[in-house]
Amino acid sequence: MSAASPGDVRIFLTGFIQRRLAAQGQDPLNELSDDCDLLLSGVIDSLGLLELVTAVNEHYGREIDFEDLDPDQMTIVGPFCDFVADRMGRA
Amino acid sequence: MTNDRALWAGFMKSAEMFTGRPAVVAEGKTLTYEELRERACRIAATIQAYQDASATPLTAVFAYRSPTAFAGVLGSLLAGNGYVPLNRTFPVDRTQVMFARSECDAIVVDAGSLPQLDKLLEESQKSLRILLPDVQSVETLRKQWPRHTFAGSNDLAASSDWREPEARPNAIAYLLFTSGSTGIPKGVMVAQRNVTAFLDYMVERYGITEKDRLSQMFDMTFDLSVFDMFVAWERGACVCCPSQKALIKPGSFVQEMELTVWFSVPSTAIFMKQLGMLKPGRYPTLRFSLFCGEPLPVSSASAWLEAAPNSILENLYGPTELTIACTLYRWDPVTSPDESELGIVPIGYPYPGMGVLVADETLREVGRGEEGELLMNGPQMSLGYWKDSEKTAAAFVVPPSKKDVYYRTGDRVRRPLGNGPLTHLGRIDFQVKILGHRVELGEIEAAVRKACGSDGVLAIGWPATPSGYGGVEVFIEGESKDLDGLRSTVASGLPDYMVPRRFHFMGKLPRNVNNKFDRKAVIHLLEEGL
């Protein structure tokens, strides 16, 4: 098990998003602000969200349960990173 | 009830009996039957006030998951018209093509779709009637578009002006566009009697009452949404429509809304399983769990039933041309695993009155236990394709040795031995399911050919998922071109799920012995990790 800060998760998330955009031939994002909603801004769709969750689980080597995360917060960068970091800190 | 009634009759009866009960939840607002009837009748009366016999008997509904979307659907029907759903999450160019092909004279638009309206008005050759129930002042629009007529919320006719239209069972209930291999979407004309035949069976089978609460996971441009709305309204139940945002947490929505009937594509169940939303016993309120639109993996059915232990799970099957669903299979934890082939739940048995023919290439019936194309007919067989007699004649055929017309589904099934269920084995052509959407790879190929000028284009469903494909990749014969330009041109005419995820340029595409492009060879390249 590895611990992670919200900043670490953010670096991983940024990398994931940029790789995905590049694979789809889209321009990279200049900046990923904390209040950016990945879904409503069209950066990812529900399939992308699934890929993201799978990638997070693989990267950190554990199954994170996203059920407790408020749906309104789930696709917003800041709350998503805080949530993953919080779960990584638990036994 | 008989199939001679209009599709709206069930709703109006429920509105009498269950006046104050909830009819729909959308955008977080609950509308009672009385409130929804009021809104729908005002829209209907406004359409009736201008419509003459020469008008197209269709009204477009350009609205997304809003109260106006539901009122617009009912209002079109109450005016005696069929509805043509348009979707603002589609590229506006595609919406414009659908709207133009439908030849609608009137369009109901909700607040969220208003920003895309200009495009439809610009391109229209007609003088249109635009109903804007969410907008008070339409003065600016009137000045900007003098050749069109606008009705804002204050201009709509009174609901008391609504006049019951003559019931015409053969009239179109809705016109839905599906992917067409030539690059132009085909409009399927579904008659009111097709839908009422379907509804009669469904409300009885599931014992729907005014206490039921049904999910609306489907956009209105997907015909499975018709089940959610009209099965609920036939019996005074409530249809619960999540926002675009709430769609990604379906589990929370089931719990908050206390849903009793669930209906979605299997992809949603797969998605929920992977996100940890299918914990045992989590959804005790569900009485029925229904899936349709793509193959249902046995593993998803089992996981779902653990999470919704009080529900009966059924797998439905049906193309738009046969009205929503026309075969079904009830899952039995004891016997069903043995009846499933290749880990996929059978599609089961035909609806009442629906005839089945499993045929070879000459459209003659195959032997029991053999594979063939599924053809069906009966009360749910639709009227064919809007203004396209050629495509209608190709798909709705009289097989040799038969007297009646059958619809060719293009689906490969096994003819059962004895009384067993039908089993879906795939497609006979190049149509694929992407996240539950029916996609003709030929349509994507046509769009790419047009955009890049090369005739050598192959579209491949990739990667394979348990229920179809996650997306599409395209192979192009020729020199590498401006990729960004190519992508944006292609994307401007196709919905997201059809836009190729990657473009691969090759000096020469692989060909098979018949000198046709070799799909298997390029799939092999993808499998090798291209």
- Could you report the per-residue pLDDT of B87-125, keeping only the tens digit for each? 998 889 889 999 999 999 999 999 999 999 999 999 998
Which domains occur in chain A, in start order?
Answer: 6-88 (1.10.1200.10)
Check: CB of residue B179 under 8 Å from CB of residue B438. yes
Whether the per-residue pLDDT at B165 is higher than 60: the answer is yes
Residue reference for tokens 């399911």: B433
- CA B393, distance to chain mean position in Å, is 22
Total of domains in chain B: 2
Is A50–B274 a contact, with Cβ atoms under 8 angstroms apart?
Answer: yes
Last residue of a domain, one of B223, B248, B273: B248
Looking from the CA of B457 toward its CB, the CA atoms found within 13 Å total 24
Q: Per the domain annotation, does B266 fall within a domain? A: no
A71 touches chain B (CB under 8 A): yes
Is B470–A47 a contact, with Cβ atoms under 8 angstroms apart?
Answer: yes
- Could you report the per-residue pLDDT of B431-447, keeping only the tens digit for each? 788 878 888 888 898 88
Q: Which of B64, B65, B219, B249 is most worth mutating to test chain A (most A CB atoms within 10 A of its CB)?
A: B249
Q: Which of A19, A20, A21, A24 is most worth mutating to test chain B (most B CB atoms within 10 A of its CB)?
A: A24
Contacts 24+ apart (CB under 8 A), B141-147: B145/B121
User: What CATH number does residue B483 fall under?
Assistant: 3.30.300.30
Whether the per-residue pLDDT at A60 is higher than 80: the answer is yes
Q: Per the domain annotation, does B214 fall within a domain? A: yes
Cβ neighbours of B529 in A, within 8 Å: none
Instruction: Determine the structural domain holding residue B99 and report its residue range.
Output: 9-248
What pLDDT was estimated at residue A65? 81
Cβ neighbours of B503 in A, within 8 Å: 25
Binning pLDDT at 50, 70 and 90, where does residue A24 land? low
A25 touches chain B (CB under 8 A): yes
| Nearest chain A CA: its distance from B202 CA (Å) | 30
How far lies B352's CA from each of B177, B198, B200, B377, B380, in Å? 26, 9, 10, 11, 10
Kindly report the pTM of this predicted structure.
0.85
Is B248–A49 a contact, with Cβ atoms under 8 angstroms apart?
Answer: yes
Distance, CA of B339 to CA of B151 (rounded, Å): 56
Q: Per the domain annotation, does B105 fall within a domain? A: yes
Whether the per-residue pLDDT at B2 is higher than 80: the answer is no
Last residue of a domain, one of B218, B248, B278: B248
Tokens matching residue B511: 């060909």
Is A67–B277 a contact, with Cβ atoms under 8 angstroms apart?
Answer: yes
Q: Per the domain annotation, does B307 fall within a domain? A: no
Last residue of a domain, one of B185, B215, B248: B248
What interface predicted TM-score (ipTM) does this complex get? 0.71
Is A25–B246 a contact, with Cβ atoms under 8 angstroms apart?
Answer: no
The DSSP element (H or E) to which B50 belongs, if any, is: helix B33-50
B253 → chain A, closest CA residue: A71
Check: CB of residue A25 under 8 Å from CB of residue B502. yes
Q: Per the domain annotation, does B371 fall within a domain? A: no
Is B275–A66 a contact, with Cβ atoms under 8 angstroms apart?
Answer: yes
Q: Per the domain annotation, does B15 fall within a domain? A: yes
- Could you report the per-residue pLDDT of B184-196, keeping only the tens digit for each? 789 999 999 999 9
What pLDDT was estimated at residue B514? 59
User: What CATH number does residue B191 fall under?
Assistant: 3.40.50.12780
